[in-house]
Amino acid sequence: MKILTLLIPILFFSLSGLYGQCVKGNCFNGFGTQNWENGDFYEGSWQKGLPDGHGEFSWDNGDSYKGRFKDGKMNGQGRYRWKNGDWYNGDWKDGKMAGRGTYFWNKEAATYEGNYEDDKITQIETQPSQEVPEVSK
């Protein structure tokens, strides 16, 4: 019983950051806006109390995602922007980069377009140069 008495407050405080409040519309089945105590924010379609369909999620750390959701996870086409200026625009599956997409590294001003799986680049694609250098004789 003492363990249960100690676990209840711990569970309450650990889950309190997950508490959100629907501030507009229908955040169970429909279109609505929900704010969480930790500063996270979602506006979009809901199904069974989870983001499902098109919507926009902003995290308290400055990251954001705009696109498709399924069962509360990024799924389908969408664009994720990190606080540092990096972004990924492309396909998502179960909350991870999966399929075709473009990743931009802000600091390096570099872009990669190709295939992803489980948040990782799956193949490096190269294209032949349009200009073929002349061979020296």
Inside any domain, residue 107: yes
Inside any domain, residue 56: yes
Nearest residue to 80 (alpha-carbon basis) of 40, 68, 71, 9: 68
Inside any domain, residue 48: yes
Inside any domain, residue 1: no
Confidence band of 19 (pLDDT split at 50, 70, 90)? confident
Q: Are strands 110-117 and 120-121 parallel, antiparallel or unpaired?
A: antiparallel
115: CATH? 2.20.110.10
Percentage of the chain beyond pLDDT 90 is 74
The answer to whether the Cα torsion of 93, 99, 100, 102 is positive or negative is positive
Give the count of beta carbons closer than 10 Å to the beta carbon of residue 1: 5
Confidence band of 123 (pLDDT split at 50, 70, 90)? confident
Residues 6+ apart with CB under 8 A from 75: 68, 69, 92, 93, 94, 95
Inside any domain, residue 11: no
pTM here is 0.77
Distance of CA 99 to the CA centre of its chain: 14
Q: Are 123 and 112 in contact (CB under 8 A)?
A: no
Give the count of beta carbons closer than 10 Å to the beta carbon of residue 105: 14
- Residue 16's pLDDT is 36
- Tens digit of pLDDT for each residue in 31-65? 999 999 999 999 999 999 999 999 999 999 999 99
Domain count across the chain: 1
**Alpha-carbon span 91 to 119, nearest angstrom:** 10
**β-strand partners of 66:** 56, 79
Q: Residue 56: which domain range?
A: 19-121
Inside any domain, residue 8: no
